[in-house]
Amino acid sequence: MNQTHLLRIVHRTHYHYASPVTFQTHRLVVRPREGHDLRVEKLELSITPLADVVWTRDIFGNSIAHAHFKDQGTELTFDVDVVVRRFFPLDSPPPETHSPSPYPLEYDTLEHGIVTGYLTPVYAEETAAVQEFIHTLPNPADFPSAEAFVVQLAGIIHGKIGYQRREQKGVQTPATTLSLGTGSCRDVATLMMETLRHLGIAARFASGYLDCPATRAARGSTHAWTEAYFPQLGWRGFDPTTGKPCDHRHIVTGTSHHPRGVMPVSGRYFGATGAFLSMTVGVEFSTPL
C-alpha cells in the first residue's frame, strides 16, 4: 500500500556580471524524472533575460531545457518552481519480493550493449588509485548480495571522505578526492561510481534534490549521488554523502554515465575579462497550500 505526498521545490540560480555579456545557449537539467514513484504536477521556469526555451529528451531519458537568448545582460537568472507528487510504500516490501543479486553480477545478454557504458570507468588514467582504494574494502563476495556490499561501500566512503561544499564547477577526480580526504556530494558520488565500475557493478551519476532537515534549514543547493544496477532489482540509489541508501527524499532530475551529463545549469557567455562577479544557488522545500 502506498501513500502520496506533495512537495514544492523552488530552485534559484543567479549569475551577476560587472558589465553586459552575451549568453550562448544554456542547458538545464531541472525537471524531476517521472515514474511509478514520482509525478510532476506543475513546473514553472522563469529566465532573465528572456529566452526561447526548447525541451528535449536526451539519450538517458532526461528532460532537458535549452534556453536560447537574444539580449545581453548583467544578470542571468533561472528560477524553477515545481510541485511533485511522491509515492512511497507505507511498509517495507515483503522479503520474497526482494531478489538479491549475488556478487559477481551477471547481466542479461540483452542488456550488455547498454550496461557496457555504465561499466566503463570515466577516469581510466586513475585506475591505480581506485584499485588501491578497493584493496582496503571488504570482499564483495563475502556479502549476502551485491546490494548489501554497495550499502556498505556508501557507508565507508561517508566515513572516509569529509564533506566539503564546493562552488567550483565540475568534479574532483577520484584520486584527488582520496588524496584530500574531502569532497562535495558530486565528488563522493563520482568516487563511488568509479569504484563500482572497477568492481564490475554498473553504476551511473544521479543529480537532483535531497529533501531533509539539513537542506531545509540551510536552503541548500542541488545534490548528487550514485545509482547501481542489479539484474533482479534494477537501478537503486546510494548516497555516499549520507552513507545510506536513497529513499523518497531523493528526487532525481537527471542520470548519466558521466557527471557532466546532468549538471543543473551549463552554458557559456562572452564578455569583457573579469566580467563575472558571482553566482548564488538556493533550493527551498515546502508543502503546497
User: What does pLDDT average to over the chain?
Assistant: 93
Residue with cell 553504476: 203
Say whether both 277 and 173 belong to one domain: no
Both 11 and 75 in a single domain?
yes
> In this structure, are 151 and 45 located in the same domain?
no
**How many domains does one find in the chain?**
2
Question: Within this chain, do residues 121 and 237 fall inside the same structural domain, yes or no?
Answer: yes
Whether residue 245 sits in one domain with residue 104: yes
Looking up residue 32, the CATH number of its domain turns out to be 2.60.40.2250
Higher pLDDT, 88 or 145: 145
Judge whether residue 93 has pLDDT over 60. no
Per residue in 177-230, pLDDT tens? 999 999 999 999 999 999 999 999 999 999 999 998 877 766 678 999 999 999
- Residue 97 sits at φ, ψ, to 5 deg, of -90, -5
Question: Which grid cell is 283?
Answer: 533550493
| Same domain (yes/no): 258, 130 | yes
pLDDT of 269 over the 70 cut: yes
Residues 149 and 196 in one domain: yes
On whether both 78 and 50 belong to a single domain, the answer is: yes
pLDDT score at 95 = 47
Same domain, 196 and 247: yes
Per-residue pLDDT at 99 exceeds 70: no
Say how many C-beta atoms besides its own lie within 10 A of residue 78's C-beta. 23
Whole domain around residue 180: which residue ranges?
97-262
pLDDT tens digits, residue range 106-122? 999 999 999 999 999 99
Its pTM stands at 0.94
Residues 136 and 60 in one domain: no
Contact in structure between 55 and 242 (CB atoms under 8 Å): no
Same domain flag for 25 and 165: no
Chain-centroid distance, C-alpha 215? 15
Tell me, yes or no, whether 44 and 176 share the same domain: no
Q: Is pLDDT above 60 for 32?
A: yes
Mean pLDDT of 147-174: 92
Report the candidate in 80, 50, 81, 82 with the shortest Cα–Cα distance to residue 67: 50
Domain at 239, CATH number:
3.10.620.30
Over residues 89-95, mean pLDDT: 59
